[in-house]
Amino acid sequence: MSAGKLTGCAVAALIAFGPPAFAADASPTAQDAKAFVARAEAAQDKMSEYRARVGWVQNTYLTDDTNWLAAKANAEGTDMQVSDAKEAAKFDRVQVDPVTRRKLELLKRAIVIPASARVGASQEVADLQTRLDDAYSTAKLEHNGKKLTLDEMEDMFRTLRDPNETRALWEGWRRVSGVKMVKDYGRMVELANEGSRELGYKDTGALWRSWYDMNPDDFAAKTDALWTQVAPLYDKLHCYVRDKLNERYGDAVQPKTGGIRADLLGNMWGQEWGNVYDIVAPKNVGMGYDLTTALVGHKYDPMKIVHTADDWYQSLGFKPLPQSFWDRSMFLRPADREVVCHASAWDIDNLDDVRVKACFTVTADDFFTAHHELGHNFYQRAYGVQPFLFRDGANDGFHEAIGDLAGLNALTPSYLKQIGLIDEVPGADSEIPYLLKMALDKVAILPWTLLVDKWRWGVFSGEIDAAHYNSAWWDLVTKYQGLVPPGPRPADAFDPGAKFHIANNTPYMRYFLATIYEFQFYRAACRIAGQKGPLNRCSVYGNKKVGERLNAMLTMGQSKPWPEAMAAFSGEKDIDASAIAEYFAPLAKWLDQQNKGQNCAR
């Protein structure tokens, strides 16, 4: 997850909004448009840095005072963005040059949760957002005489195999997080829709779907088409995992048919299943190594993990991260204060002050996360050469995919041998265990990344009302993930609120796109490197040619529609999930053999 342009802000007293770009009694002209864009771009650049600095302090020092400051800064930033978006819309029918037109379009769609121009609306939106974020980040569960943070519960979930305990933690987290935010969330939806309609969108979901250089309805259809490409592989994995969980726990806990019990998958949200690999692993064959064990055995600490990730990008030809990155980032959970531990990458000044905020531990998951988060930072530095309004990813899925590209390479045995974490690349007999372990995260997460925003699109459109928030959520979880709760849900449950991105109002479709892009970019990188053999064995560590092509895409930022940015690196102009099928082809064949005779309906 990245942070920066949309989380930064400046006080209104420091940055003037300026006069209208054209006289009220005159028709707007192309020159008016260029003047407006220049003024808005300069003001938003300054505002972005201030908001980022306020946001950084609030995220790393959670107090009533920093929450107040963040709410105020975000309200002022929202006012400016909404004002600029409405002003930009006045030039919709003016003939302008392509660069000005793109900047006008970006100004119109630059805000995630817009506020109405009504007096007090932006402050109320900001207050709600701050309360939702604080409610999530400070929630703790009383369990067995101890107050548990979410990251402590997540760590327990990795190895906990008592279904009574997993159920207690799963239900407990939803009780202390989501339930207390449902009223604020409903009000935030009302206000966001009010602001979106003033910008010309039918609702906030339509605004979010407008970010992808295509009609919002066409984008929704594109996501459905992509899911059609990957659903068969997911269904095979679901069937296999359900059978293994049934073998482990028995019919009373996990039936052989129907949905998988959501708390049995080693993850608080059932979004990634890699932590239950020990339950579903093929018999009599292994991967030949355990990455977490290897990290511990080679005396890695969180800082060494981050330095290793930095080295991966340097090996492709990118310059090292600045010393300020190491001095100003937060790598560990502080013992003396509340913080937002959810990992994120920050672009503070839209130039070179990039940072990571995380609570890293020495695990395979965080080895991946470090490579991922630094991908945001290297992307941010690359497009720093662009004008402010073009300093962002080609779309938000691109931003996530760059880090995922590095993370996918980071988990590849060839790379682990290159950096000395394992002595030998395991032989061909380890391919299925490796691909299964990878699929438990990369394939299992796909329906989750799709349904989170499908739920929000329904909420924003009014198809899902507040009285049915939770039932509609579980309808989608059942349909796409094939998961069920461990027991009946209370009438007041708000299970969507158990996920950070709901409380934080962070759009989630970027992660669905990013997973597709990740494998598409990875295949392109391996082709550029001239790699032979199975795609899953490829490592591009140290390949400067790959780095040159990758940098060509990154430096474009969002100056061009995303298909042009994609073509600069991969030569392809459309998103395509076929690389996932190619990567996991041996596993798909193996799963068919394992599932033979099973009732895979869910």
Distance CA 485, CA 480 (A): 14
Q: Phi and psi at residue 490, in whole multiples of 5°? A: -60, 160
Active-site pick, 105, 194, 373, 400: 373
Pairing between β-strand 146-148 and β-strand 483-484 as defined by DSSP bridges: unpaired
The 10 Å Cβ neighbour count of residue 277 is: 16
Cα distances (Å, whole numbers) of residue 439 to 62, 215, 237, 267: 36, 32, 8, 15
Q: Phi and psi at residue 3, in whole multiples of 5°? A: -140, 150
Which two three-digit tokens encode residue 146? 């101890």
Q: Which amino acid is at 581?
A: A
Distance CA 263, CA 38 (A): 52
Q: Please give the helix or strand (H or E) that residue 365 lies within, else none.
A: helix 364-382
468 is catalytic: no
Distance CA 119, CA 182 (A): 24
As beta bridge partners, residue 483 has 260
Tokens 């932590």 found at: 275
Q: Please give the helix or strand (H or E) that residue 336 lies within, else none.
A: none
Q: Phi and psi at residue 425, in whole multiples of 5°? A: -75, 125
Contact (CB, 8 A) for 112 and 505: yes
Distance CA 295, CA 358 (A): 18
Residue 489 DSSP code? P
Active-site pick, 76, 194, 501, 518: 501
> Residues 424, 426, 429, CA angle at the centre, nearest 5°?
160
501 is catalytic: yes
Which two three-digit tokens encode residue 169? 């933690």
Nearest to 179 by CA among 471, 497, 503, 468: 497
Distance CA 5, CA 48 (A): 5
Distance CA 347, CA 172 (A): 35
- Which residues are CB-contacts of 458 (< 8 A; sequence separation ≥ 6)? 205, 464, 472
> Residues 582, 585, 587, CA angle at the centre, nearest 5°?
140
Q: Which residues are known to be catalytic?
A: 373, 501
